[in-house]
Amino acid sequence: MKLFESHQRKAGHTLLVTLCTLGIIGLVLISYLRLTANQNQLITRSQVWNACMALAEAGIEEALNHCVYNETNLVSNDWKLQGGRYSLSNTLGDGRYVVSVSQTWPREIISQGLYPMPVANKYVSRRVRVTTTNLNVFFAGLVVRSSVELNGNNILIDSYNSRDPLKSTLGRYDPLKAGDRGDIVCAEGIKDSLYIGNADVFGHVYTGPTATVRVGPNGGVGTHAWRNAGNRGGIQSGYWIKDFNMSFPDVSPPYSSAPTPSGGNYNGVNYNTILGAGNWMINRLSGNTIVTGNATILVTDRIDYHGGSLEIAPGASLKIYMAGEQTSIGTTINANSSSTNLYYYGLPSNKQIDIKTGGAAFTGAIYAPNAELFINGSNQLFGGAVVNGARLVGNCQLHFDEALAEGPNRGLVITSWEEL
């Protein structure tokens, strides 16, 4: 009997150990399954959370495009005026966004992205508020994407305003009234002391955060007052801004076909090309040209005014779209004095713009984001330029016409971003 009770006691102990082991394994499995479920839930929530931001950003893009292309009629394309704001709701896949735009400037955009949480019968949402500004194409004297080289002893960059008699004389640049808005803007950086060397830059320098700027012993960047106080070889405090960032949209041709202009006699003078009001298209633009109306011309091969001139008659204006690779600019005779009467747009195929004829003066605005601008000798540019790169040598000068800031704009640009 004692032996039988001993075996029974041992069997009971084995069963107890087995049950405890199974219980521990069960608890571990349950904990693991719960951990896995929580991890999957966190991953899912993270994915939904990120999807909400993507939807909110899509709403912002929708609002920006709407403000650019429908500025005169914001109650269109399913947008409605509700609660003092223009609003739109749109579905993208399983989610949606609700976006609104303020009626007043500067435009404020609030966008909410909503995405469903799997299984749960609810939406996760994120809201973003951005403010914007309508950035002008020509907001500084020289805007470049890659690099600027200033290599000379008497290079001068300053500003005037052809529409302000206090900042110009009969609409023309007057050195006695010159201003301090001859800003240089460079996305990647301004090459060092050999290039900015002894140049007089009356304005700001804007660069990216990693750029370096070195100034020669006789050069300087700042205001006329700062320079006249005897400051040399440096940059005035606050006149080097290091957070510049912008895009450089390509130019598209305005049309694919148009009449070819011809030459002739105008007011007793013979011209190779006469551009009246309307759209024109030509292979090469050279010789002596006069613009007699509000004209637009698409040039497919080359512009060469070496030894020739481009003349704009009183009351006339010209927009040049350049599809060719190279442009050589001589003297421009602008009877209207303002650079806003001549706009030059370089298509992606336009790679080089030279202002190099002895004593040449170009009065106009240049936007050619894929071209290199070269100004040498005693040549001058009255207006402004947005190009890929620029090289100024000798004693050339660039005078930014502040009136250009009232001209064409690039559309809305975000100035601040805040998640609510």
pLDDT of residue 81: 94
Q: How far apart are CA 341 and CA 355, in angstroms?
A: 18
Q: In what helix (H) or strand (E) does residue 39 lie, and over which residues does it extend? A: helix 2-69
Burial 328-362 (b: 16+ CB within 10 A, else e): bbbbbebebbbbbbbbbbbbeebebbbbbbeebbb
Instruction: Specify whether the CB–CB gap between 321 and 298 falls below 8 A.
Output: yes
pLDDT of residue 193: 35
pLDDT of residue 1: 45
pLDDT of residue 192: 47
Q: How far apart are CA 103 and CA 369, in angstroms?
A: 33
Question: What is the Rg, in whole angstroms, of the alpha carbon atoms belonging to the chain?
Answer: 33
Instruction: Specify whether the CB–CB gap between 401 and 183 falls below 8 A.
Output: no
Closest CA to 232 of 212, 218, 244: 218
pTM equals 0.76
Instruction: Specify whether the CB–CB gap between 208 and 242 falls below 8 A.
Output: yes
The residue with tokens 């003297």 is: 331
Mean pLDDT by groups of 10 residues along the chain of 420 residues:
54 71 75 65 81 94 87 90 94 94 91 88 92 87 89 89 95 95 83 62 88 83 94 91 82 95 94 97 94 97 88 95 94 83 96 82 93 91 95 92 86 84
**Partners of 318 in the β-ladder:** 295, 342
